[in-house]
Amino acid sequence: MKDKDKLRGSVTLAPSIPQNITRERLVGLLPRGSSTQVTDEILETINKMGEQTDLPQELLEEEVMSYMHLVGSIKGVGINDVINATKYCNLKRSYSNKQAYSIVFPAKYDERINAGKPVDNYVAMYNATKLVTAIDKENLVAAHIKHYPYFDAAVKELAKVGLYNNAGTNADGEKMTVSPMVKVQALKELAALTKQPEVSQFDIKINPSDKALDMQEQMNQQLEKLVNVAHKQLEAGADILEVQNIGINFEEINDAEVVN
């Protein structure tokens, strides 16, 4: 199976028709105020992406258009940079970083190799650029989504064993059956995998009772009276220490609350 077929089937759903990329379409996708020029050479480079990488041309075209917003938003990044990074990031899905780099930048790669110089540091630096990092981030797919086909296949196989008492066929093509215990275990696992998620939500509202509100109101009224009395006593020349002694026994209040 070719790499482009693997990419179509397992990693992403590639569009099946060309995107008909034109100069006008690319210009329209550039960030507002961008002065980047879309040349014939750029269009030709885009049209040869699939040929160079052996990946679906339609997919690469679609991704290049979706990453055009990165032109100018990352200092020094132009359309050619986005094209190369798009190819590189997609190749990394099937190849090592070093192999992907050698396909996208064959001249640079061969030059280093022929000169007997290391290329791994070049690859590592390119892989860590802001452009590649930005595209990798946009390509991130949650593991449970990326590997959903395996989950689906596992559920179907469990259904065969648990629901239909069928464990497939042997080397001779004969239908195999399973024991009741295996059937029960398969059904339990199938039920666990397909169980509807439970929603756990607590909606607790705490409001004071009418009795508590009434007691609070009475206390506020008493405090207001005490404040007024204290104010008058101070104006009459009473000692402030005597005025501050309001004569409330908090132990009696607490005992009363317990009894009630």
115 compared with 215, residue with greater pLDDT: 115
28 compared with 223, residue with greater pLDDT: 28
Taking the whole predicted model, whether its pTM rises above 0.85 is answered as no
**Residue 187 to residues 82, 135, 166, 196, Cα–Cα distance (Å):** 50, 42, 12, 15
As a whole number, the mean pLDDT across the chain is 78
93 compared with 126, residue with greater pLDDT: 126
- Whole-angstrom distance, CA of residue 81 vs CA of residue 89: 12
Does residue 211 surpass a pLDDT of 90? no
Out of 31-40, 124-133, 174-183, which region has the weakest mean confidence (pLDDT)? 174-183
59 compared with 150, residue with greater pLDDT: 59
Q: Give the tokens for residue 47.
A: 């049209």
- Whole-angstrom distance, CA of residue 229 vs CA of residue 224: 9
User: Residue range 92-101: average pLDDT?
Assistant: 93
Does residue 6 surpass a pLDDT of 90? no
| Amino acid at residue number 196 | Q
pLDDT for the residue 166: 65
pLDDT for the residue 245: 64
pLDDT tens digit sequence for 71-83: 988 888 999 999 9
